[in-house]
A and B are shown apart, each in its own frame.
Chain A
């Protein structure tokens, strides 16, 4: 079985500061991986590097996505190949409706796959169907993208977009932070509904809470730019109970 994503010894940083100090990770089809870690351990950097944010400089290692060198690709080509990043802080675009934005996006992806653009009626029907997944109201479609949305609405909108774009690999960057329990349940429900045997998900989170709703196959602990421990879902529970300090200590001892 070919992995969807294979990260090997990845090092990366910003303005001379190294943040990722040798991350290795393999994600196979059908899997859900959770990456946990305290603030400043490099979680969001990893998500940004995977999506192709330009501020980060890759200093070493490789990332292979569906058999191709991911680091060679522009952000839009990564998206077109099936990489989806659910942003921690989704941006607002005044005057551009959610529907219009998504239509542009969906049709760019279809064009890349050699498919015809969706007919407006078909597209609208599809949006209506997928919105239900995250219990979003139709009125959101005609509102400017994320403008005036609450924190929870923005995150639901991210999962809605994920449902529309049907990615091969979804990276959820702290999608759970700042969500109340209802919104968390809705977001998790959406993610679960989108799980398939041929796609995979990476959940980046600070809290164990989300993992009550989305059961991961593997849990990794990122500390100081390295994955210092991996295990099953019980690792998350242990972290919840004991905090991160014991991991830090262990890591310090190994180093």
Chain B
């Protein structure tokens, strides 16, 4: 309950809160993409030959591919030769304590409300901070190492755990899966790698804060999480980006692998810069996220709160291969002003008695467009598959749009697939009722929206839920009355 008054305080503030730029010297590659750029990145990361070969293959595939045109979004054509594919802070020596971290960087995180020290001591969350392309600081690694858990930057994993990376990278999202996954595979800079050994329950929430910092730098994160038999991990991904005028491209790839009896919970709060009220600037967030329930009784659960980005194009999906495996997708997507979101999920039922659950809450305000796009596919062999989907839309104002595009494809007679969708608005009568109880309209909207999204917010770990609630309120400022 204490969270609510905090939200109300936040609501009073206006423009994008996290819009500031950190001045750290950058080591930039010139704009543009070529085979040489791919080689340069691989060399900078001191990668083995097989990794370079993998990247070059992806680059060749990308050259032959076209940008997808089917999402319900419009934006100016991206010139992929105008993007910088490599940037890293100059201080590259590894750091052992927070004292060694650039003070300006620490100040940046303080402004974001996620001071490392506090995170470390108060919340017990290990933070793998990614500033642009190179991981700077990982905490709690010793403790995790005791359990045999690997939680490190992808570049480090490629060097230190090549056999694991080689086995799993591209196994869930093939390099040629789509235009942006191919691009990411060719030029990915860094990201996180997690491996949870057999039977280990990761005792803390693993968390990474991504930030886009340098001008004109695309961000191409690559994350791979492998949960071995009987293990459990909860992973948090949070994004806040400084304010920019130019559009920036973000094309991440996340792959999850859950073996027999393993469970992966992946939570995202996405708050990239959405652009200003006139739609100027903002991040293009074209992300491929997919998990595979490889083993029997495994479970993958995606939870996302999407409030940022000018354009979001993202479908965290689950391939339910193991028998009795479970896939979940919980999403709140807020669009305001001129934001556009086309997001949803795919649940591919392959194993026997697989179950999936989809809860999507879209909130559209201003002149924004918010689309849910989802696929539930039950293959012929998927005996006893069950799915339930609930896709709700909340409209605030009469200049926005809400769209649902659910695809239900069933080829097995024992399947049960249920889909429900509703749309509603924040009624004048509800606002008046709140006003009469002394709650002003802006706070009332925050209250109502948080209530509407509660089923999804409840899926988030506590600290994240608080931040998510604040973000919902901030994102919708000025949308009513």
Residues in A lying within 8 Å of B, measured CB to CB = 51-54, 74-76, 78-80, 84-85, 87, 90-91, 93-96, 99-101, 103-105, 107-109, 112, 117, 120, 123, 144, 161, 165
Docked complex: B426-452 residues within 8 A CB-CB of A: 427-430, 432-441, 443, 447-448, 450-452
Among A54, A93, A105, the residue within 8 A (CB) of B448 is A93
Residue with the highest number of chain B CB atoms closer than 10 Å, among A84, A107, A112, A123: A107
Residues of A close to B443: CB separation below 8 A: 104, 108
Q: With A and B bound together, what is the CA distance between A79 and B434 in angstroms?
A: 10
Q: With A and B bound together, what is the CA distance between A76 and B440 in angstroms?
A: 6
Tell me, rounded to whole Å, the shortest Cβ–Cβ distance linking B476 to chain A.
15
Residues of A close to B1: CB separation below 8 A: 99-100, 103, 120, 123
- In contact, A93 and B451 (Cβ under 8 angstroms): yes
Residue of B nearest to A110 (CB): B438
Q: With A and B bound together, what is the CA distance between A178 and B250 in angstroms?
A: 58
Among A87, A95, A144, the residue within 8 A (CB) of B433 is A87
Q: Which of B2-10, B20-28, B296-304 has 4 or more CB atoms under 8 Å from chain A?
A: B2-10
Among A75, A93, A144, the residue within 8 A (CB) of B436 is A75
Q: List 20 A-B contacts (CB under 8 A).
A: A52-B435, A75-B435, A76-B440, A87-B436, A91-B429, A93-B448, A95-B453, A96-B454, A100-B1, A100-B447, A100-B451, A103-B4, A104-B447, A105-B439, A107-B5, A109-B438, A120-B2, A144-B451, A161-B437, A165-B437
- In contact, A76 and B451 (Cβ under 8 angstroms): no
Flag whether B455 is at the interface (Cβ < 8 A): yes
Residues of B close to A85: CB separation below 8 A: 436
- In contact, A108 and B438 (Cβ under 8 angstroms): yes
Q: With A and B bound together, what is the CA distance between A52 and B440 in angstroms?
A: 13
Tell me, rounded to whole Å, the shortest Cβ–Cβ distance linking B1 to chain A.
5
Residues of B close to A101: CB separation below 8 A: 437, 447
Among all A-B residue pairs, the 5 with the closest Cβ atoms: A95-B451, A96-B451, A75-B435, A79-B438, A95-B454
Q: With A and B bound together, what is the CA distance between A87 and B454 in angstroms?
A: 26
Among B2, B427, B438, the residue within 8 A (CB) of A91 is B427
Q: With A and B bound together, what is the CA distance between A105 and B435 in angstroms?
A: 9
Q: With A and B bound together, what is the CA distance between A65 and B476 in angstroms?
A: 34
By secondary structure, the A interface counts as helix
Residues of A close to B428: CB separation below 8 A: 54
- In contact, A95 and B430 (Cβ under 8 angstroms): no
Residues of A close to B441: CB separation below 8 A: 76
Tell me, rounded to whole Å, the shortest Cβ–Cβ distance linking B395 to chain A.
15
Q: With A and B bound together, what is the CA distance between A54 and B436 in angstroms?
A: 12
Q: With A and B bound together, what is the CA distance between A54 and B443 in angstroms?
A: 18
- In contact, B451 and A80 (Cβ under 8 angstroms): no
- In contact, B433 and A96 (Cβ under 8 angstroms): no
Tell me, rounded to whole Å, the shortest Cβ–Cβ distance linking A91 to chain B.
5
Residue of B nearest to A55 (CB): B428
Residue of B nearest to A144 (CB): B451
Residues of B close to A93: CB separation below 8 A: 430, 433, 447-448, 451
- In contact, B432 and A53 (Cβ under 8 angstroms): yes
Residues of B close to A107: CB separation below 8 A: 5
- In contact, B435 and A104 (Cβ under 8 angstroms): no
- In contact, B438 and A76 (Cβ under 8 angstroms): yes
Residue of B nearest to A89 (CB): B429
- In contact, A96 and B439 (Cβ under 8 angstroms): no
Q: With A and B bound together, what is the CA distance between A76 and B428 in angstroms?
A: 14
Q: With A and B bound together, what is the CA distance between A21 and B200 in angstroms?
A: 76
Residue of A nearest to B427 (CB): A91
* Mask of B442-473 contacts with A, CB within 8 angstroms, 1/0: 01000110111111000000000000000000
- In contact, A105 and B4 (Cβ under 8 angstroms): no
Residue of B nearest to A103 (CB): B1
Tell me, rounded to whole Å, the shortest Cβ–Cβ distance linking A52 to chain B.
7
Tell me, rounded to whole Å, the shortest Cβ–Cβ distance linking A250 to chain B.
35
Tell me, rounded to whole Å, the shortest Cβ–Cβ distance linking A237 to chain B.
32
Residues of A close to B5: CB separation below 8 A: 103-104, 107, 117
- In contact, A95 and B455 (Cβ under 8 angstroms): yes
Residues of A close to B4: CB separation below 8 A: 100, 103-104
Tell me, rounded to whole Å, the shortest Cβ–Cβ distance linking A227 to chain B.
24
Residues of B close to A84: CB separation below 8 A: 436
Residues of A close to B439: CB separation below 8 A: 76, 104-105, 108
- In contact, B429 and A80 (Cβ under 8 angstroms): no
- In contact, A76 and B447 (Cβ under 8 angstroms): no
- In contact, B433 and A90 (Cβ under 8 angstroms): yes
Given contacts A103-B1, A104-B5, A104-B443, contact A95 B452 (CB under 8 A): yes
Tell me, rounded to whole Å, the shortest Cβ–Cβ distance linking B10 to chain A.
14
Tell me, rounded to whole Å, the shortest Cβ–Cβ distance linking B165 to chain A.
42
- In contact, B435 and A79 (Cβ under 8 angstroms): yes
Residue of B nearest to A145 (CB): B451
Residue with the highest number of chain B CB atoms closer than 10 Å, among A53, A93, A105, A107: A93
Among B8, B438, B448, the residue within 8 A (CB) of A96 is B448
Residue of A nearest to B446 (CB): A104
Residue with the highest number of chain B CB atoms closer than 10 Å, among A76, A85, A90, A107: A76
Q: With A and B bound together, what is the CA distance between A17 and B432 in angstroms?
A: 22
